[in-house]
């Protein structure tokens, strides 16, 4: 007998897993997105929301399952598209049968993300409909179309991103400065987008710089501002040392601006990284009115570098934090507590390296805080005895000791020489590109020019650093003398403000020999 094949009709839809004979409304959701919060985009967003809500509800065979939307979000990544992520989760939970949206580019501009998501939805029997392209994802031929269209959407996004990047860099080249005014302390946006000083906020900025110049650490300054109820740049009640540091190191407060400090690694991920030479930077001098005197700003940077060079543990804990130096190892003294919780409690200071492993035990002593305070009172009073002589001597020598006129002339000469060498390098390269030359001779000439350029650059850097050091030292000494002038007489009690403004360091040799170095360079040995 011959074969007899009996067909058993399908009863379940392979796409929806619903019995073929069953009549049930499809649960339909819509997705709307615009990439920016510009006015014209907002109107587009509102139009999408209104259109799809009415469209779904007008169909008798559809059941409205919600409208999911993202306003002002890019389509190249899912990371910040909360509406999209919520829609996908709802669909995968079996609460949506169909998702409709305006176009493939509204759904996603990332080819991989788009196809991966659509395949995952299909596995869970959820279909997508792209109205502009008239594509239904349950159609077997749709995937190749989606691949092409998603790639085009991604390429369009890349092109837009590159155009925006070019425009931004052109603004940088033109020296156009902008800041996030809502979170930038001290300045408001002017009529033409320029930086205009906000005098009330500028008081806080000046106070921060003043406290730092008087010896307070960034963490200590943060605690003072928090205690005084001053809101942070972000409007928060609590300040952090990192925020204070960012204010102290921001060149915009001295009227200049360094542009393109960070750059975008990929238009897809929008990841930003610190620019350490990957793309050009632009430094704009005298761009706007300064809140902080440029010399004072450079003094703050020098003090920060000084602390870093000494590897000071400037946690800001304790009255002598970062000031006491161990003569044995060069380490910094830290505060400790003896007999905590008892009537014999005592605050002491000890070299932080004293008991570290693989470290030769320091011979310098542990000192009681009370004893150190008494020594400071004595040291300051010794200094105060020579107050008038110190001020008079400084006025007599400052024009000579801190004169930078010769260094500035040398700086100009070296800068001109560098520019001439740079032009010679460019001419050398251009000539080789247009006229056949002996390449060995060309290489030797080119390398000699580069070597000369590097040598002159090193000289210029050295001279510039010498100029800056003299200016910083002058400002530091003037600041010290200003504080000294305010003192009307000797003191009988310890003052932390006076310690911070007067003392640069305290070097411990022994209990009997402790040297106080004041900020004008004067050293007083207490024995």
Residue 81: phi and psi, rounded to 5, are -95, 80
Q: Which of 161, 191, 214 is the last residue of a domain?
A: 161
Instruction: Please report, in tens digits, the pLDDT of each residue of the chain (527 residues total).
Output: 677 777 666 655 555 555 555 557 889 998 887 665 444 444 566 777 788 888 888 888 888 888 888 875 554 455 667 888 889 899 999 899 999 888 877 776 566 677 788 888 888 889 888 888 888 888 777 777 777 776 776 666 666 555 565 555 555 555 566 666 678 888 888 787 788 888 999 999 999 998 888 778 888 899 999 999 999 988 889 999 889 999 998 888 888 877 666 556 554 555 666 766 565 666 677 778 888 888 788 888 877 876 665 544 444 457 888 889 999 888 889 888 888 878 888 899 999 888 776 666 788 999 999 999 999 999 999 999 999 999 999 988 888 888 999 999 999 999 999 889 988 988 888 888 888 888 888 889 999 999 999 999 899 999 988 988 888 788 888 888 888 898 889 999 998 888 888 888 999 999 999 999 998 889 999 97
Residues 157 and 190 in one domain: no
Measured in residues, the chain has a length of 527
Structure tokens at 291: 């809140």
Residues 330 and 466 in one domain: yes
Count of structural domains within the chain: 3
- Give me the CATH number covering residue 194: 3.90.1750.20
pLDDT the model gives residue 159: 64
Structure tokens at 503: 């003392």
Check if the beta carbon of residue 176 is closer than 8 Å to that of residue 170.
no
Q: Which domain covers residue 366, as residue numbers?
A: 324-526
For residues 457 and 262, give the distance between their C-alpha atoms in angstroms, rounded to a whole number.
26
Q: Which of 129, 161, 193 is the last residue of a domain?
A: 161
pLDDT the model gives residue 180: 66
**171 in a domain, yes or no?**
no
59 Cβ neighbours under 8 A, 6+ residues apart: 28
For residues 428 and 442, give the distance between their C-alpha atoms in angstroms, rounded to a whole number.
8
**7 in a domain, yes or no?**
no
Residues 36 and 185 in one domain: no
For residues 215 and 316, give the distance between their C-alpha atoms in angstroms, rounded to a whole number.
10
**20 in a domain, yes or no?**
no
Report the candidate in 406, 399, 408, 410 with the shortest Cα–Cα distance to residue 474: 399
Count of Cβ atoms closer than 10 Å to residue 44 Cβ: 16
pLDDT the model gives residue 468: 81
Query: Rounded to two decimals, what is the model's pTM?
Result: 0.53
Residues 299 and 428 in one domain: no
pLDDT the model gives residue 139: 77
For residues 71 and 34, give the distance between their C-alpha atoms in angstroms, rounded to a whole number.
5
Residues 102 and 217 in one domain: no
- Give me the CATH number covering residue 36: 3.40.50.1390
Residues 332 and 303 in one domain: no
């Amino acid at each position: 007998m011959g074969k007899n094949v009996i067909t058993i009709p399908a009863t379940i839809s392979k796409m929806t897993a619903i019995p073929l004979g069953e009549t049930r409304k499809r649960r339909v959701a819509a997705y709307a997105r615009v990439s920016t919060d510009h006015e014209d985009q907002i109107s587009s967003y509102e139009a999408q929301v209104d259109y799809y809500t009415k469209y779904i509800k007008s169909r008798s065979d559809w059941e409205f399952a919600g409208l999911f939307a993202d306003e002002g979000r890019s389509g190249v990544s899912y990371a910040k598209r909360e509406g999209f992520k919520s829609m996908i989760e709802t669909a995968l939970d079996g609460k949506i049968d169909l998702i409709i949206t305006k176009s493939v580019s509204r759904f996603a501009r990332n080819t991989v993300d788009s196809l991966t998501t659509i395949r995952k939805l299909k596995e869970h029997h959820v279909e997508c409909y792209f109205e502009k392209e008239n594509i239904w994802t349950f159609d077997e031929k749709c995937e190749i179309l989606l691949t092409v269209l998603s790639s085009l959407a991604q390429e369009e996004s890349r092109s837009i991103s590159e155009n925006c990047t070019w425009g931004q860099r052109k603004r940088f080249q033109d020296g156009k400065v902008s800041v996030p005014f809502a979170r930038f302390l001290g300045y408001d946006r002017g009529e033409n987008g320029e930086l205009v000083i906000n005098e009330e906020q500028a008081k806080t900025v000046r106070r921060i710089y003043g406290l730092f110049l008087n010896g307070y650490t960034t963490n200590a300054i943060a605690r003072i501002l928090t205690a005084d109820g001053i809101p942070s740049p972000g409007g928060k009640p609590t300040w952090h040392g990192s925020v204070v540091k960012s204010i102290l190191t921001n060149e915009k407060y001295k009227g200049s601006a360094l542009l393109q400090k960070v750059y975008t690694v990929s238009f897809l991920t929008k990841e930003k990284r610190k620019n350490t030479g990957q793309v050009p930077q632009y430094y704009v001098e005298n761009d706007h009115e300064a809140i902080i005197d440029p010399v004072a700003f450079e003094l703050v940077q020098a003090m920060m570098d000084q602390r870093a060079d000494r590897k000071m543990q400037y946690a800001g804990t304790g009255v002598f934090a970062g000031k006491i130096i161990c003569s044995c190892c060069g380490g910094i003294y830290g505060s400790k507590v003896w007999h905590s919780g008892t009537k014999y409690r005592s605050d002491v200071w000890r070299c932080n390296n004293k008991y570290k492993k693989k470290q030769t035990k320091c011979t310098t002593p542990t000192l009681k805080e009370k004893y150190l305070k008494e020594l400071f009172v004595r040291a300051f009073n010794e200094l105060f005895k020579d107050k008038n002589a110190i001020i008079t001597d400084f006025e007599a020598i400052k024009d000579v000791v801190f004169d930078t006129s010769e260094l500035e002339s040398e700086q100009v000469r070296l800068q001109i020489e560098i520019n001439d060498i740079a032009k010679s390098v460019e001419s050398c390269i251009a000539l080789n590109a247009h006229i056949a030359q002996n390449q060995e001779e060309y290489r030797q000439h080119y390398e000699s020019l580069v070597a000369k350029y590097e040598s002159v650059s090193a000289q210029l850097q050295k001279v510039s650093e010498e100029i800056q050091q003299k200016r910083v030292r002058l400002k530091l000494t003037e600041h010290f003398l200003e504080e000294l002038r305010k003192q009307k007489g000797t003191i009988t009690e310890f003052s932390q403000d006076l310690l911070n403004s007067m003392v640069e360091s305290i070097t411990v040799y022994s209990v009997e020999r402790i040297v106080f170095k004041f900020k004008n360079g004067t050293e007083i040995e207490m024995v």
